[in-house]
């Protein structure tokens, strides 16, 4: 039996590639290379499957150009790079990589919250620049974390994992808003209280965004929402670029309408709004919330197992549009 041909759209660890080579004819992408859309489509022609990251857009035009494609396996839990309706219409399965990154991403959300509240990046730059000449009472005095109110917008798996850290580890008062309220047992496990979006904005000392990106979620946090937050509050975005209006946030930070922000995701990343680069009270990281070696390996292995599961055995592990399989 001839093996299916697949493409790995961005370089992955050797053990992941080796696993895929046991089942497929594999075309890889060299480390550091990101294909343009035209180059990506060119390489995808004739392939039955592709392992993508959140950076490759899968839409009707691409699908029409690649009629042999059967599955797109995303190495990410988020899949806003997929036009899932177009994929279903073309009979192409989409899969994502949930669960394996939940705790690691929650760890990072908390790390970013603490770095932001306690002004770690700003004070480190100050020290490196040789400005530290004496101790003073208010030197980089930041916001309290323990015992404060943690607000979470988007209470899926990662939101719940952040809530547990806040409630059980830091004695925080956890409030959340979500499209639908969690069941009582889950709320109790997270020690989290459901509130309206307006209450969340008004009461949170630290507001963490963990909701998936959809067109309806575009600029969920803009100037009007920031105006409803406490002037002492911090805002953390580990969800997706576009959920926050980055220009409005940069302006608000400069005007100290809120105290600080921590951002791991950006509108139009890897480009970053130039105004964010010049305000001091923001911690900026390059979309690394899930980036530990074990977790990125697990994510890539799950993405590989989805390709093998579907193309070899007819059974994907984490399908997004399972109607395509049936």
Task: Quote the longest CA-to-CA distance of the chain.
Answer: 73
Euclidean distance between the first and the last CA atom of the chain, given in angstroms as a whole number: 23
Cβ–Cβ under 8 Å, residues 40 and 58: no
84 or 202: whose CB is closer to ligand 8YV?
A: 84
What is the distance between the alpha carbons of residues 317 and 296, in angstroms, rounded to a whole number? 17
Token pair for 242: 């576009």
24 or 82: whose CB is closer to ligand 8YV?
A: 82
Whether 27 sits among the annotated catalytic residues: the reply is: no
Using alpha carbons only, how large is the chain's radius of gyration in Å?
21
Whether 122 sits among the annotated catalytic residues: the reply is: no
Residue selected from 54, 242, 262, 309 as contacting ligand 8YV according to rule CB under 6 A = 54
Smallest gap from residue 237 Cβ to ligand 8YV (A)? 11
Smallest gap from residue 302 Cβ to ligand 8YV (A)? 11
Asked if residue 290 binds ligand 8YV (CB under 6 A), the reply is yes
What is the distance between the alpha carbons of residues 6 and 12, in angstroms, rounded to a whole number? 14
Number of helices (H) and strands (E) in the chain: give both, helices first.
Answer: 14, 12
Smallest gap from residue 13 Cβ to ligand 8YV (A)? 13
99 or 124: whose CB is closer to ligand 8YV?
A: 99
Whether 218 sits among the annotated catalytic residues: the reply is: no
* Crossing angle of helices 14-21 and 293-311, rounded to 10°: 10
Asked if residue 309 binds ligand 8YV (CB under 6 A), the reply is no
142 or 316: whose CB is closer to ligand 8YV?
A: 316
Asked if residue 75 binds ligand 8YV (CB under 6 A), the reply is yes
Any idea of the CA torsion for 287, 293, 294, 298, to the nearest 10 degrees?
Answer: 60
**Can you give the binding site for ligand 8YV, defined by CB under 6 A?**
53-54, 75-78, 101, 290
Active site positions, annotated: 240, 269, 287
């Amino acid at each position: 039996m001839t093996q299916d041909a697949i493409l790995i759209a961005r370089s992955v660890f050797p053990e992941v590639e080796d696993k895929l080579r046991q089942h497929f004819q594999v075309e890889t992408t060299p480390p550091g290379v990101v294909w343009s859309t035209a180059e990506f489509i060119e390489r995808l022609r004739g392939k039955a499957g592709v392992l993508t990251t959140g950076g490759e857009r899968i839409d009707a035009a691409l699908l029409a150009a690649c009629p042999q494609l059967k599955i797109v396996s995303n190495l990410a839990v988020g899949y806003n790079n997929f036009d899932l309706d177009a994929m279903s219409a073309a009979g192409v399965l989409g899969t994502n990589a949930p669960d394996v990154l939940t705790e690691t991403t929650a760890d990072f959300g908390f790390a970013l919250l603490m770095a932001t509240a306690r002004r770690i990046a700003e004070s480190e730059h100050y020290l490196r620049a040789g400005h530290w000449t004496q101790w003073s009472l208010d030197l980089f005095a930041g916001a309290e974390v323990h015992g404060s109110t943690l607000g979470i917008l988007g209470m899926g798996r990662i939101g719940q994992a952040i809530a547990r850290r806040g409630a059980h580890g830091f004695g925080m008062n956890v409030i959340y808003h979500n499209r639908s309220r969690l069941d009582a047992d889950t709320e109790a496990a997270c020690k989290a209280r459901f509130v309206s979006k307006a209450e969340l904005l008004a009461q949170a000392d630290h507001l963490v965004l963990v909701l998936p990106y959809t067109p309806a979620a575009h600029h969920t946090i803009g100037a009007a929402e920031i105006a409803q937050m406490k002037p002492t509050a911090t805002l953390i975005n580990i969800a997706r670029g576009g959920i926050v209006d980055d220009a409005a946030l940069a302006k608000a930070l400069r005007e100290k309408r809120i105290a600080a922000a921590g951002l791991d995701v950006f509108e139009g990343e890897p480009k970053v709004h130039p105004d964010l680069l010049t305000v001091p009270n923001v911690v900026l990281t390059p979309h690394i919330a899930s980036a530990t070696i074990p977790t990125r390996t697990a994510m890539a292995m799950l993405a590989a197992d989805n390709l093998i599961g579907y193309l070899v055995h007819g059974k994907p592990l984490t399908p997004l549009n399972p109607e395509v399989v049936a």
